């Protein structure tokens, strides 16, 4: 299991369009699960509704947890995507 932390800097937060990109990215890592945690809530990063339910706004610290055969690659890819928002 690998965990990374990042602060969301997107002015609009993590809304539907970037959440959809994130879901697509996470689903490309077969056999590896990715979870996002923020403000005491946790969501499967392969679930659009789960991500949106977190209500991630600009300035929110996010914990990315990946587990599986490609966990390092998946965590880094999710971190990079969020950092580019």
The CA distance from 35 to 20, in Å, is: 15
One of 2, 10, 15, 33 is an active-site residue; which one? 15
Q: Residue 15 catalytic? A: yes
The CA distance from 53 to 45, in Å, is: 11
For residue 36, give the 3-state DSSP assignment. Answer: strand
Active-site positions read: 15
């Amino acid at each position: 299991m690998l965990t990374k932390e990042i602060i969301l800097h997107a002015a609009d937060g993590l809304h539907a369009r970037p959440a959809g990109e994130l879901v697509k990215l996470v689903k490309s890592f077969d056999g590896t699960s990715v979870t996002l945690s923020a403000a005491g809530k946790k969501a499967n990063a392969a679930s659009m509704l789960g991500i949106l339910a977190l209500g991630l706004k600009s300035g929110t610290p996010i914990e990315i947890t990946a587990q599986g055969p490609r966990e390092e690659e998946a965590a880094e890819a999710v971190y990079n995507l969020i950092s580019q928002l």
